[in-house]
Amino acid sequence: MSQDLLAALTELLGPAHVLTGADRAAYLPDWTGHYTADPLAVLRPADTAQIAATVKLAAAHGVPVVPVSGRTGLVGGAMTQGGLMLSVERLNRIRDIRPAARVAVVEAGVILSSLHDAAEAADLSFPLWFGARGSAMIGGALSTNAGGSNVLRYGSTRALCLGLEVVLADGRVLDLMSALHKDNSGYDLKDLFIGAEGTLGIITAAVVKLVPRPRAYATATLAARSLPDALTLLNRLQSASGGMVEAFEFMPDTYMRRLTEARPDVGEPFATRHAVNILVELGATAPRDATPGPDGAIPLTTLLEDTLAQMMEEGLILEAQVAQSESQRRAMWQRRELAAEITFARSPVIDTDVALPLDAVAPFLEAFHARLPGLDPQAETLSVAHLGDGNIHLSIFPGSDDAAHADRIVAAVEEEVQRLGGTFSAEHGVGLSKKPSMARRKNPVALAVMAQIKQALDPQNLMNPGKILS
């Protein structure tokens, strides 16, 4: 049966786009190195019609289909053993940029940085921003409801999407490609597929929001006395700027130490290593905030400098550097965006992606670090956070490379997160690695409803099976 299916797929897509054997090699490992796929074939359809026909063929043969985008995921969401890996890389057209409506119509295989460039050419911005933007694709970002550094101001991927095109499990094409900001005509089906990781259907295109391009940035790295003091700074800046804070990133001393070990070429921001380091960035679109005055000072930068100076006088901030050029700004961001590289360069590693109310971040870190020595006296941690939205990437380097031991540590993280009103999955999705957390921590009624939706839309369980739900 598999040979019949491969023959039909080859006739449909062409032999160059049905990869088997050694030709699959580039698609088999995931980015973290934790998982390796073994698909029947890797498929590269050219458009939505070919994806629909592919899904129909797979359904007729009872073979699972796993959508693949830029392969930058961290939870094993694009893995399969014996199924078909369906890459959207050839669906890479930006169909339209509509500046007056501030929307872009894009296919699932558009690389995020390509959309950034196209939006900028129209004097606009697509404000989904994270380290893998040079290879991550829109389809994957939508399927995982990706977050990144600018969620604080613009929201996650779901908040940036107005419309979708989705191929369902039976091959039908669901056209929800609306540019409407309001539509109360029944269930919001679009949101079912965002964050579903391809388990309900394959996203093939989207209508996404664009925003005014910032005319100026004010960026600084600072050392705060404590995390609560850092939140005081965030709230003051939000009030003073009218909500122009785009990013507020936390890098503790353990992160700086690991950064220096792994990338000594990058350098630390201060001669003295501090416990709480913050990267803050504001973006201004209005000329009054972005146009230099007679003295050459940009009002937005002056606002940031004045706020930092006031808090230094109060003793809440210990040191600060404000970027005076684009190269200095990029150097500050490089320190933050090396997080994944320096984390996964060491093994074994337990990677978690949790979110908490902003005022619960410090209590969580304190409680877990007090608890960890009792679980593993040899363990070390590395954390970095989108502090402005409460998302912490806490990684643990355990003293033992044992799956059961790792699961006990993850369960302890979950317990502290749940106790403080947080979630075990903030922006990376669930995939394979967080399925045990789903079973332990997700509300049972919510799990049952999700299973009913899955059964209704994919009764054969062929759309990325084994992910999210058991």
Instruction: Name the pairing type of β-strands 84-87 and 65-68.
Output: parallel
Kindly state the tokens that stand for 262.
């792994």
Q: Which domain holds residue 253?
A: 216-339
Specify whether 74 is located in the same domain as 149.
no
Burial (0-12, 13-18, 19+ Cβ within 10 Å), 460: middle
Looking at the structure, tell me whether residues 79 and 140 fall in a common domain.
Answer: no
From residue 129, alpha-carbon distances to 97, 142, 153 in Å are 19, 13, 12
Which of the listed residues 281, 305, 339 is the one where a domain comes to its end?
339
Could you read off the pLDDT of 282-298 as tens digits, one per residue? 999 999 999 999 999 99
Boundary-marking domain end, from 183, 212, 241: 212
| Residue 310 three-state SS | helix
Q: To the nearest whole number, what is the mean pLDDT of the chain? A: 97
Joined tokens for residue 348 = 């074994």
31 within domain boundaries: yes
Same-domain status, 83 and 185: no
Q: What is the pLDDT of residue 272?
A: 96
Residue 174 lies in a domain: yes
Q: Is residue 159 included in any domain, yes or no?
A: yes
User: Is residue 86 located within the same domain as residue 113?
Assistant: no
For residue 152, tell me if it sits in a domain: yes
Single-letter residue type at 182: K
Same domain membership, residue 318 and residue 364: no
Over the stretch 325-344, which tens digit does the pLDDT of each residue have?
999 999 999 999 999 999 99
Please tell me the distance from the alpha carbon of residue 68 to that of residue 79, in angstroms, as a whole number. Answer: 9
CATH, residue 80? 3.30.43.10
Question: Is the Cβ–Cβ distance between 108 and 204 less than 8 Å?
Answer: yes
If you average pLDDT over residues 438-454, what whole number do you get? Answer: 97
- 292 with 230, same domain: the answer is yes
Which helix (H) or strand (E) segment holds residue 20: the answer is: none
pLDDT tens column, 217-248: 999 999 999 999 999 999 999 999 999 999 99
Are 297 and 241 found together in one domain?
Answer: yes
SS3 354: strand
Asked if 210 contacts 119 with a C-beta cutoff of 8 angstroms, the reply is yes
Domain CATH code at residue 362: 3.30.70.2740
Dist. CA 173–CA 166, nearest whole Å: 6
278 and 181 within one domain: no
> Residue 1 — very low, low, confident or very high, per pLDDT cuts 50/70/90?
low
Q: Return the SS3 of 441.
A: helix
pTM (two decimals): 0.94
- Domain finish residue from 196, 212, 228: 212
Instruction: State the Cα–Cα distance between residues 433 and 437, nearest whole angstrom.
Output: 8
* Cα 64 off chain centre by: 25
Res 33 pLDDT > 90? no
Q: What angle do CA 367, 34, 25 make, to 5 degrees?
A: 160
Is residue 282 located within the same domain as residue 189? no
Residue 230 and residue 320 share a domain: yes
333 and 364 belong to one structural domain: no
Enter the DSSP assignment of 252. E
pLDDT band at 362 (very low <50, low <70, confident <90, very high): very high
Residues 421, 426, 429, 432, Cα dihedral to 10° = -50
Amino acid letter for position 293: G
Q: What is the mean pLDDT of residues 204-213?
A: 98
pLDDT of residue 4: 96
The reply to whether 446 falls in a domain is no
Query: Would you state the pLDDT for residue 470?
Result: 81
Q: Are residues 334 and 224 in the same domain?
A: yes
- Number of domains observed in the structure of the chain: 4
| CA–CA dist 168, 199 (Å, integer) | 10
Taking the CA atoms of 294, 296, 302 and 308 in sequence, report the sign of the dihedral they define: negative
Q: What's the CA gap between 343 and 108, in Å, rounded?
A: 28
Residues 67-112 pLDDT 10s: 999 999 989 999 999 999 999 999 999 999 999 999 999 999 999 9
Kindly indicate the confidence band of residue 65, based on its pLDDT and cuts at 50, 70 and 90: very high
CA distance 364 to 382: 14
164, part of any domain: yes
Residue 108's CATH number: 3.30.465.10
- Asked if residue 436 belongs to a domain, the reply is no
Burial 286-325 (b: 16+ CB within 10 A, else e): eeebbeeeeeeebbbbebbbebbeebeeeebbbbbbbbee
For residue 396, give the 3-state DSSP assignment: strand
Taking a C-beta distance cutoff of 8 angstroms, is the pair 8, 18 a contact?
Answer: no
Write phi, then psi, for 210 (nearest 5 degrees).
-115, 155
Handedness of CA 315, 254, 438, 431 (dihedral sign): positive
C-alpha distances out from residue 402 to 39, 329, 431, 444, Å: 27, 41, 20, 28
In a domain, residue 227? The reply is yes
Q: Which residue has the tokens 């332990």?
A: 440
